[in-house]
Amino acid sequence: MIGAHMVKLFGTNGVRGVVNKELTAEMALRLGRAIGSFFNGTVAIATDTRNSGPMIKSAAAAGLMSVGANVIDLGIVPTPAMQYYVRTHSLSGGVMITASHNPPQFNGIKCADREGRELTREDEEKIESLYAQGTEIKAWDSVGTRTYDASAPEAYVNAVIGHVNADAIRKAKLTVVADCVNGAACVTTPMLLERLGVKSILLNADPKGIPNHPSEPTGDNLKDLMFVVKKEKADLGTAHDGDADRTVFVTDGGIYMEGDESLAVMAKFLLSKKKGLVITPVSTSSMLEDVVRKAGGKISYTAVGSPAIAKAMHRDNAIFGGEGNGGLIFPEHLLCRDGAMAIAKMLECIVTEGPLSEQTEALPKYHTVKRKVYCPDRLKDALVEFLKGENKSAKKDTTDGLKLIYGDGWVLMRPSGTEPLFRITSESKEKDAAVKRADETEAKAEDYIRNMDRSV
Ligand code: MG
């Protein structure tokens, strides 16, 4: 939820809200001014396919120009295509009008820095304070210009193709079913598949404001994709979210791959070519760590969220990183989630390593149990401290919430950033152990909250 009275505008994925309720043209204009003052130079702007995209974009662009920023309008493009454009054209920054996987009534605004990376929290705070203060607008003869450039999708796709063995992919004559979710992927994924010489079957490939199915790429939303992959005996199924930074996969048998499985398969393949470091959040299954170690690589963990992963990848010179929601990061191309790179690399992986169903089947197996516990915001820190004291024997990691690590698995307790609750994830090789630890943690947390709530 956002509103002019709040100082914190940016959530985990930029500023987001229901259009003309929480996110208005007036806000976009004011935010455009703040962003323009922050970047102080030429800025690219782009949208996904939402109905409100032109309205929010026009308002944000007017704000940018009013403080003297020159605006290059890229049209409808995936977020990573905008990020690639900003980096390769040496711009000061980029603005993406998107609410990613949220329903069509939502929209949002997020920014990329000159390297094409998502902004750090510190930079977002600078924009928020410019927004709160209000920014000075320029005289009539110093306002910014607006130009249009339709080259971003093609430039992005060509760059992606340059990072894979395209000849080997073309020779393999693969069949791919791609669900573009009527989103930004419509302008890049069909082009990518065509240029890589695969036979493509496209679903929901017409860009439109109201997608044919919800744009969060979960198994439940991708039943048609799984059906068509199986029926057509395709080698791969793939789908994106609304702004096509995230990518998920369906195996040649028509089975939806969990995000952690995609990470593990990809890490194994990349490590077979080059040893190095893989970075992922503490919430990722140990399946990935097992695979990375066996392949001779190293792994390190960050807090949840792609900016934290990208930052650590940059600092520690990682070869690959990603999170379990379909966000895969390939640093040789961009330090952000990269929908088209994920597809191209997965095709190369299939050509080199064999059918995805077999690769997935060979992964280590873990059992995961997820729970939610109510916890008022004011008790979140205290609950973490309490649980730390309650679990003296386990190894502890406090990168994000509290992770208790045992010989056969772990429990992660993370406070939600937006809701009054704690998320509990319990993973183990043994199903009973995973359930037992989730039960125990949930019961302890509930007891604690009940007692504390009563005591105030
Ligand atoms: Mg997204």
The pLDDT tens digits of the residues spanning 323-337 come to: 999 999 999 999 999
Residue 47 alpha carbon to ligand 1 centre in Å: 12
Query: How would residue 456 be classed by pLDDT, with cut points 50, 70 and 90?
Result: low
Look at residue 237 in the predicted model and tell me its pLDDT.
98
What percent of the chain lies above the pLDDT cut of 90? 89
d(CA 413, CA 402): 5
SS (H, E, C) the chain: CCCCCCCCCCECCEEEEEECCCECHHHHHHHHHHHHHHHCCCEEEEECCCCCHHHHHHHHHHHHHHCCCCEEEEEECCHHHHHHHHHHCCCCEEEEECCCCCCCCEEEEEEECCCCCECCHHHHHHHHHHHHHCCCCCCHHHCCCEEECCCHHHHHHHHHHCCCCHHHHHHHCCEEEEECCCCHHHHCHHHHHHHCCCEEEEECCCCCCCCCCCCCCCHHHHHHHHHHHHHCCCCEEEEECCCCCCEEEECCCCCECCHHHHHHHHHHHHHHHCCCEEEEECCCCHHHHHHHHHCCCEEEEECCCHHHHHHHHHHHCCCEEEECCCEEECCCCCCCECHHHHHHHHHHHHHHHCCHHHHHHCCCCCEEEEEEEECCHHHHHHHHHHHHHHCCCCEEECCCCEEEEECCEEEEEEECCCCCEEEEEEEECCHHHHHHHHHHHHHHHHHHHHHHHHHC
Q: Could you identify the residue written with the tokens 């793939």?
A: 238
Question: Residue 408 above 70 pLDDT?
Answer: yes
Residue 64 alpha carbon to ligand 1 centre in Å: 23
Mean pLDDT of 264-280: 98
Residue 325 alpha carbon to ligand 1 centre in Å: 10
Query: How would residue 6 be classed by pLDDT, with cut points 50, 70 and 90?
Result: very low
Look at residue 12 in the predicted model and tell me its pLDDT.
65
Mean pLDDT of 399-418: 91
Residue 387 alpha carbon to ligand 1 centre in Å: 33
Question: Residue 9 above 90 pLDDT?
Answer: no
Look at residue 8 in the predicted model and tell me its pLDDT.
73
Mean pLDDT of 148-166: 98
- Least confident interval from 158-162, 357-361, 375-379: 375-379
On average, the pLDDT of the chain sits at 95
Question: Residue 2 above 70 pLDDT?
Answer: no
CA distances from 271 to 21, 163, 253, 293, 346 (A): 47, 16, 25, 10, 14
Look at residue 39 in the predicted model and tell me its pLDDT.
97
Domains 15-150 and 367-455 share a fold: no
Segments making up each domain of the chain, as ranges = 15-150, 155-361, 367-455
Query: How would residue 13 be classed by pLDDT, with cut points 50, 70 and 90?
Result: low
Answer for the pair 84, 192: CB distance below 8 angstroms, yes or no. no
Question: Residue 174 above 80 pLDDT?
Answer: yes
Question: Residue 356 above 60 pLDDT?
Answer: yes
CA distances from 67 to 24, 64, 299 (A): 19, 6, 44
Residue 273 alpha carbon to ligand 1 centre in Å: 29
The per-residue pLDDT for range 415-434, each reduced to its tens digit, is 887 789 999 999 999 999 99
Query: How would residue 3 be classed by pLDDT, with cut points 50, 70 and 90?
Result: very low
d(CA 383, CA 448): 7
- Least confident interval from 116-125, 138-147, 245-254, 282-291: 116-125
The per-residue pLDDT for range 61-106, each reduced to its tens digit, is 999 999 999 999 999 999 999 999 999 999 999 999 999 999 999 9
d(CA 233, CA 293): 33
What percent of the chain lies above the pLDDT cut of 70? 98
Mean pLDDT of 298-305: 96
Starting at the earlier edge strand, list the strands of the sheet with 402-406: 367-374, 421-428, 409-415, 402-406, 395-397
Residue 454 alpha carbon to ligand 1 centre in Å: 41
For 299, the token pair is 């792994």
Predicted TM-score (pTM) above 0.85: yes
CATH of 15-150, one of 3.40.50.960, 3.40.120.10, 3.40.50.360, 3.40.190.80: 3.40.120.10
d(CA 305, CA 189): 24
Look at residue 4 in the predicted model and tell me its pLDDT.
44
Look at residue 194 in the predicted model and tell me its pLDDT.
98
Look at residue 416 in the predicted model and tell me its pLDDT.
85
Residue 184 phi, psi dihedral angles, 5° rounding:
-65, -25
Residue 204 alpha carbon to ligand 1 centre in Å: 17
Q: Classify domain 367-455 at the CATH class level.
A: alpha beta
d(CA 20, CA 149): 28
Question: Residue 112 above 60 pLDDT?
Answer: yes
The per-residue pLDDT for range 366-397, each reduced to its tens digit, is 999 999 999 998 999 999 889 888 877 889 99
At the second CATH level, the architecture of 155-361 is 3-Layer(aba) Sandwich (3.40)
Mean pLDDT of 115-126: 92
Residue 248 alpha carbon to ligand 1 centre in Å: 12
Catalytic residues: 100
Query: How would residue 455 be classed by pLDDT, with cut points 50, 70 and 90?
Result: low
